[in-house]
Amino acid sequence: MKITVIFLLLLLVCSGSTDQNKTEAEKEILAQQITSLQSLPQDILAVLREMAVTLTQQKFDIRLLQTENKEHAAKLKELQETECKKQETEVDKLKQQLKVGQVAFSASLLATGSGYVGPFPKQTTLIFKHVDTNIGKAYKPDTGIFTAPVRGAYHFEWYIGTYGGHHASAAVLVKNSQQIVTAYEHQTSGYGTTSMGVTLLLEVGDVVFLRLLANTKVYDNSHQYTAFTGHLLFTM
């Protein structure tokens, strides 16, 4: 840049000494060009300053974007983890519902041998000790009581065996403390059986069991004449 200015000055000097015919207008134009060239460094400096400010702002914007990206990535990761945990919880719930939704049992009165139960002077809970099936473990063979693990519709059936004698055979199905349906048979000689079935809407924790009516008896042997069964139809 300095060389250019010097060169123009030399031209100006030379023009005054060698070419006397140059007009004052031409000299003025040359002087303006020299002045313009002298102002160039200041313009370049201003441009450089502006570029430096712009570069600084761009660096700041980049750091800001990087910070925001990290925050967004962290939030996205947190949302993904939360969603995964939510899905795992839902899967666990579905597995639990499927597990508790599998409910069925079947049991007969005597664990071994043959014989009568009853008569008793008052109603007595029948305990079915020989368990063939107990999916879901809702039936307790030590108490004879079935406890509903989920809200739903359940179907129960019971079979009463009798063998001669002077006493009738009768058992009533009880829901909590409410007597629902009774199976009754009076056989004066030989073998006899009766049965009954019912479908009930049960809440979680409701209990169902059979009671032998007062002054009646039931008979059972290895053929399982007296039995109690039940299963969940569907949840509600």
Q: What is the pLDDT of residues 178-193, one digit of tens each?
A: 999 999 988 777 787 8
181 with 75, same domain?
no
Q: Is the pLDDT of residue 86 over 70?
A: yes
| Whether residue 64 is found in the same domain as residue 113 | no
How far apart are the C-alpha atoms of 97 and 102, rounded to whole Å? 9
- Indicate whether 82 and 137 sit together in one domain: no
Residues 196 and 230 in one domain: yes
Give 155-164 pLDDT, tens digit per residue: 999 999 888 7
Percent of the chain's residues with pLDDT above 90: 46
Task: Please say if the pLDDT value at position 152 is more than 70.
Answer: yes
Same domain, 155 and 209: yes
pLDDT tens sequence across 3-39: 444 454 555 555 554 455 556 777 677 666 666 655 5
- Mean per-residue pLDDT over the chain, rounded: 84
CA distance 234 to 79: 36
More confident residue, 131 or 70: 131
Same domain (yes/no): 115, 203: yes
Expressed in percent and rounded to 5, the helix, strand and coil fractions of the chain are: 40, 35, 25
One-letter amino acid for residue 144 of the chain = G
Phi, psi of 90 (to 5 degrees): -65, -40
Identify the pLDDT of residue 17.
47
pTM: 0.61
pLDDT over 70 percentage in the chain: 80
Residue that wins the pLDDT comparison between 161 and 145? 145
The residue among 97, 126, 142 that closes a domain is 97
Out of 97, 120, 137, a domain closes at 97
Structural domain including 22 reads 2-97
Q: Give pLDDT, residue 193.
A: 85
Average pLDDT estimate for 211-229: 94
Residue 25 vs residue 177, higher pLDDT? 177
Do 85 and 117 lie in a common domain?
no
| Domain stop point among 46, 75, 97 | 97
Residue 230's pLDDT band, with cuts at 50, 70 and 90, is: very high
Split into its structural domains, the chain has a count of 2
Q: Do residues 174 and 188 share a domain? A: yes
Total residues belonging to the chain? 236
Considering the domain architecture, whether residues 75 and 170 belong to the same structural domain is answered as no
Tell whether 124 and 226 lie within a shared domain.
yes
pLDDT at 104 over 90: yes
